[in-house]
Amino acid sequence: MSAFPRTPRIARRLGATTALSVLAVFATACTGTDAAPSSAQSDRVTLSDQWIKAADSGMSAAFGDLTNTGDEPVTLVAATSPASARVEIHEVVPDSTGAKTMRPKEGGITIPAHGAVTLRPGAEHLMFMDLLQPLRTGAETSLTLTFADGSTSVVTAQIRDFAGGNEHYVPGAENPAHGG
C-alpha cells in the first residue's frame, strides 16, 4: 500500500516564496481601478475531470484538465486542500540518468489563452505533500486553486485507485548535477 517511498520533509522555503509572490501580484492587482468584476482569472479557468489518487498516508496527487476560456494566459500559482498539510505544484522531468523525477514547478502552471493543460500522472500535477487523513477510494475532497491575480476557485475531486504516478521526488534543494 505504500505507493510512495518515505521522503524527508523538504524545506518550506519554496512555499513561502510562492506565497510572497502571490501577495505581491495581488497587491498590484488591487491598485487598479478599472478592473471589472468578471475579470478574475478564477472565472476564466476551470478544472474538470479532476481526481485524486487514493493513499493511506504520506503523499498523493491531484489531476485533471485546466481549461482557460479567456483571451490572456492565466497562471495557477498555488493550491490547498483540507486533506493535506501542504500542496505543491509539481512537474515531471528526466534526471541525469533519464529516470523520471518530479519536483516543484517554479512559477506555477500557465494555461494558454483559449487553451488547456492536462494534469496527469507522469506530467504536471498537484502534489499532496503530507496527508492529514487517508484518502479512500470513492470519497471526495475539496481543492482550492489560487491564480496569479489572487483569485481562487474551489473544486471537489473524487478519490480513485491508481497504481502509477510514483515518480521519485526530488526536493528543490537537491543538486541535480550530482553524478553528472
The residue type found at 41 is: Q
CA distance 152 to 147: 6
Which of the stretches 9-17, 42-50, 97-105, 147-155 binds Cu ion when contact is defined by CB under 5 A?
97-105
Distance from C-alpha of 167 to C-alpha of 28, rounded to nearest angstrom: 37
Residue 156 Cβ, how far from Cu ion at the closest point, in Å? 21
- E strands, 20-59, in order: 45-53
The reply to whether 66 sits near Cu ion by the rule CB under 5 A is: no
The yes or no reply on residue 90 touching Cu ion (CB under 5 A) is: yes
Number of residues that bind Cu ion (CB under 5 A): 3
CA–CA distance, 83 with 53 (Å, rounded to integer): 12
The residue assigned the cell 502571490 is 22
Can you read off the three cell numbers belonging to residue 138? 470513492
What CA–CA distance (Å, rounded) separates 42 from 143?
Answer: 13
Binding residue for Cu ion, selected from 10, 22, 102, 157, defined by CB under 5 A? 102
Q: How far apart are CA 95 and CA 108, in angstroms?
A: 20
Cβ 102 to Cu ion shortest distance, Å: 4
Residues in the chain: 180
Closest of 147, 143, 146 to residue 155, by C-alpha? 143
Question: Which CB, 82 or 172, lies closer to Cu ion?
Answer: 172
Q: What are phi and psi of 159, to 5 degrees?
A: -90, 130
Query: Which residue, 44 or 90, has its beta carbon nearer to Cu ion?
Result: 90
Q: Is 127 in the site for Cu ion (CB under 5 A)?
A: yes
Pick 40 or 127: Cβ nearer Cu ion: 127
Q: To the nearest whole angstrom, how small is the minimum distance from the Cβ of residue 125 to Cu ion?
A: 6
Smallest separation, CB 167 to Cu ion (Å) = 7
Part of the chain binding Cu ion (CB under 5 A), chosen from 3-11, 95-103, 136-144, 152-160: 95-103
Q: How far is the CB of 90 from Cu ion (least distance, A)?
A: 3
**Residue 23 vs 93, nearer CB to Cu ion:** 93
Contacting residues toward Cu ion, per CB under 5 A: 90, 102, 127
